[in-house]
Structure 1
Amino acid sequence: MLIKKKRVLVLGQTPPPYGGQALMLQTLLEGEYKNAQLFHVRLDFSRDFDDMGSFKLYKFWSLFKAIFQTIFYRYYKSADILYYGPAGPNKLGMYRDMLLLAPVRLFFKKTILHTHAGGSSRLYADLNVIAKFFYRIAFFKPDVLITLTNFSHGDDVVLVPKAVFVVPNGIKDEYQFYKFVSTPKLDSKINLLYVGAMYEERGITELVYAVDIIRKRGVDVRLQMMGIFISNDFETKIRALIDKLGLDQYIVFLGTKVGEDKWGVFRDSDIFCFPTYVPSETFGLVLAEAMQFEIPVVATRWNGIPLVFEDGKDGLLIDIKNPQDLADKVEHLARNEKERIKMGQNGRKKYLDRYSIDTFRSKMDIVFSQV
């Protein structure tokens, strides 16, 4: 018996820029589903990381274009289910989402909200009466709310969804190929890695101080940072700090890397550092990327991150804004090779079980079957 597939219009941005939510949307769209056929209206509110969360005039045109395309595709493709990933607790992003969703949700029979960046609902209480009215039209009572972990930022309470599903992020297993093209290590340095946009709340300052502490204890580490700075002022501040501490030779900025260049860096890294305290942080896709490459992670005890890996088994948790704690945990792994390797192996097992691309798409298909 043939299953009649539900027709879902996916409204959202795919790379570039290469942020976690955009990458996951691309992963979703590239899948085949037994219960759903997906159509895509691509948003282009952010041309690069510099544009994210900022006001740009071109975004008004992008907004009107997205509204028109969404309504057009609703009927042209007969897609009666709307899928959207709201911004986190960022006011500009919230207002953009309200302006986009309020006029288009009414045209669809059902709505799926996928909270990659959770916490938009935290802004609701402080809105004025008019803003609250449009917020309710845009966000309240979705047919499905998808969260990445059991930590939902309270969205499941405020938005009053009809159903809630927990679907962790899942990614393609790049390690299967790149593990066979490893290069011999030329020195004894412990290679630390950070991946993601760089700004204050990602714990970049704490990470620099931690490298200084570790090196003063006689541990030979080198930190590679993959991603770009969100602001020129913050980049200037960090580079000045690195120069002041004399760490120029030990901290390397790689910029954005994709494909073979990106995975080659993961392959040659020993410890992954993610000292974030971003309010909207829910999962941290880069943690799954590190785990698939058998890299133990050192990350903050913050929001949903402790639910992604097990402290002491797949990696180590640290307190936020605490370079001393970060240095202690990294030093411990650097000095204990067997434990470091075992944690990395445990992380890969967890990746294969929970965070593979097949697991993600299988769980999304279950969501589509029940919406």
Structure 2
Amino acid sequence: MVKNKILFILHLPPPVHGSSMVGQYIKDSKLVNQEFDAEFVNLGTSKSIDEIGKNPLKKIRTYFAILINCISQCASNRPNLVYFAMTAKGIGFYKDAFLIFFIKLFRVPLVLHFHNKGVSTRQDKWMDHLLYRFVFKDTKIILLSSHLYADIEKYVSKENVYYCPNGIPEIATPIKTNGNKLNRVSILFLSNLIASKGVFVLLEACKMLKEKKFDFNCVFVGGIGDVSEEQFYAKRKELGLEDIVVYKGRKYGQEKEKAFAEADIFVFPTYYHNETFGLVNLEAMQFSLPIISTYEGGIPDVVVEGVTGFLVPQQNVEALAAKMELLLNSSELRQKMGVAGRVKYEKEFTLTAFENKMTHILTAVLK
């Protein structure tokens, strides 16, 4: 049987970030390569996080090499479908729109996959509006969650939208440990130190709980963002949390898994404007951790209120502290929610589930 040809234009690592990892999962997928005759073009113009925003001339050359590669693939291989991992706004959107202009010249069916959001924040700008109308015309869209449809509803009808939640690889042995030697309930925050990820909100909630004499510790894991290490420690000191709050820096591989394994509760009180899914919540679910997060992006699809954890209003310290208090008070509730989260992960958010869903969507678009 002749396979349908799909040209995948997507981000691949390095650098490592959510979109590039999903791109790598698609490229490495046995199922995708089994079902389709796949070719891949890497959209990345930076080879590391440090290169982002630097070396503009080098990036321009790389970008035009990508453009020529895309045109060549469309002209010579004549794909039945082009899959494009689209940037929703800003310079990345303008670059992607320019590529899509040339792709559309070949009249190849196009499906756009968004790992970010922001269309609705730019749609009132006349140039962006015209570009969105052009880009979205006669295209199919893949979103991470139905909660993200409002971002593009001005340009795309619901029948042209598919939903494919992210999945992550199974960890070999996500076993809880007894690494918490202080025998306290351990709360984990894992993300870069970015204010809008809820760093200071969580610290303020910890202060409220300490004043209520709860015995716990809170571990922060992640790289430096717009909150410096000095600022973090200064805030910790200001709130009197030196004895219960620890910052352990960035962790990878087994060290990151150890941080999850030693935790009892995972807290991710994000209000980051570009948050779409929160992959860290899936990682916490692998370790059967109850989760407290916020109503942002597609997170309500991951954290089921009152079942696998709690969702609180953004930047609401009192609401966050109240839900943390419920979990600190009840090991039974922590265990019940953690088990429910693990079951939900195994059912909906494995890499196999992602590959199956993506393959089903691409097949449906081709038909």
Instruction: Tell me the TM-score normalized by structure 2.
Output: 0.88
Tell me the equivalent position of 1:84: 84
Matched, 1:26 2:24: yes
Partner of 1:177: helix, strand, or coil?
A: coil
Tell me the equivalent position of 1:114: 113
Tell me the equivalent position of 2:321: 327
Matched, 1:144 2:137: no
Q: Bigger shift: 243-252 or 299-308?
A: 243-252
Tell me the equivalent position of 1:13: 11
Matched, 1:98 2:94: no
The one-letter amino acid of 1:370's match is A
Asked if the contact 2:113–2:143 (Cα under 8 Å) also holds between the matched residues in 1, the reply is yes
Asked if the contact 1:102–1:134 (Cα under 8 Å) also holds between the matched residues in 2, the reply is no
Superposition deviation, residue 113 in structure 1: 0.9
- Residue 311 (structure 2) aligned to one of 306, 317, 329: 317
Superposition deviation, residue 265 in structure 1: 1.7
Deviations along 1:38-95, one digit per CA (max 9) or x if unpaired, are 322223345445666x57624333322321222233345543422222234x423333
Asked if the contact 1:171–1:355 (Cα under 8 Å) also holds between the matched residues in 2, the reply is yes
> What does 1:265-304 correspond to in 2, within 5 Å?
265-304=259-298
Asked if the contact 1:74–1:108 (Cα under 8 Å) also holds between the matched residues in 2, the reply is no
Asked if the contact 1:119–1:153 (Cα under 8 Å) also holds between the matched residues in 2, the reply is no
Asked if the contact 1:81–1:108 (Cα under 8 Å) also holds between the matched residues in 2, the reply is no
Matched, 1:216 2:211: yes
Tell me the equivalent position of 2:156: 160
Partner of 1:154: helix, strand, or coil?
A: helix
Tell me the equivalent position of 2:123: 124
Deviations along 1:133-177, one digit per CA (max 9) or x if unpaired, are 44433x212532111111124244233266211111111221x42
Tell me the equivalent position of 1:190: 185
d(CA) in 2 for partners of 1:337, 1:210: 20
CA separation of 1:224/1:308 partners in 2, compared to 1, >3 Å: closer, same or farther?
same
Partner of 1:41: helix, strand, or coil?
A: strand
d(CA) in 1 for partners of 2:252, 2:262: 15
Unaligned runs of 5+ in 1: none
Superposition deviation, residue 226 in structure 1: 2.8
CA separation of 1:257/1:13 partners in 2, compared to 1, >3 Å: closer, same or farther?
farther
After the TM superposition, list the runs of 4 or more consecutive aligned residues in structure 1 that deviate by more than 4 angstroms: 46-52, 75-78, 233-236
Q: CA RMSD in A?
A: 2.6
Partner of 1:38: helix, strand, or coil?
A: strand
The one-letter amino acid of 1:201's match is S
CA separation of 1:185/1:234 partners in 2, compared to 1, >3 Å: closer, same or farther?
closer
CA separation of 1:264/1:9 partners in 2, compared to 1, >3 Å: closer, same or farther?
farther
Q: Bigger shift: 348-357 or 305-314?
A: 305-314
Asked if the contact 1:309–1:315 (Cα under 8 Å) also holds between the matched residues in 2, the reply is yes
Deviations along 1:114-136, one digit per CA (max 9) or x if unpaired, are 122123244122233xx544443
Asked if the contact 2:84–2:113 (Cα under 8 Å) also holds between the matched residues in 1, the reply is yes
CA separation of 1:21/1:183 partners in 2, compared to 1, >3 Å: closer, same or farther?
same
Partner of 2:175: helix, strand, or coil?
A: helix
Asked if the contact 1:84–1:112 (Cα under 8 Å) also holds between the matched residues in 2, the reply is yes
Asked if the contact 1:121–1:159 (Cα under 8 Å) also holds between the matched residues in 2, the reply is no
The size of the alignment, in residue pairs, is: 361
Unaligned runs of 5+ in 2: none
d(CA) in 1 for partners of 2:109, 2:11: 20
d(CA) in 2 for partners of 1:271, 1:222: 10
CA separation of 1:362/1:300 partners in 2, compared to 1, >3 Å: closer, same or farther?
same
> What does 1:232-271 correspond to in 2, within 5 Å?
236-271=230-265
Superposition deviation, residue 294 in structure 1: 0.3
CA separation of 1:296/1:202 partners in 2, compared to 1, >3 Å: closer, same or farther?
same
The one-letter amino acid of 2:144's match is L
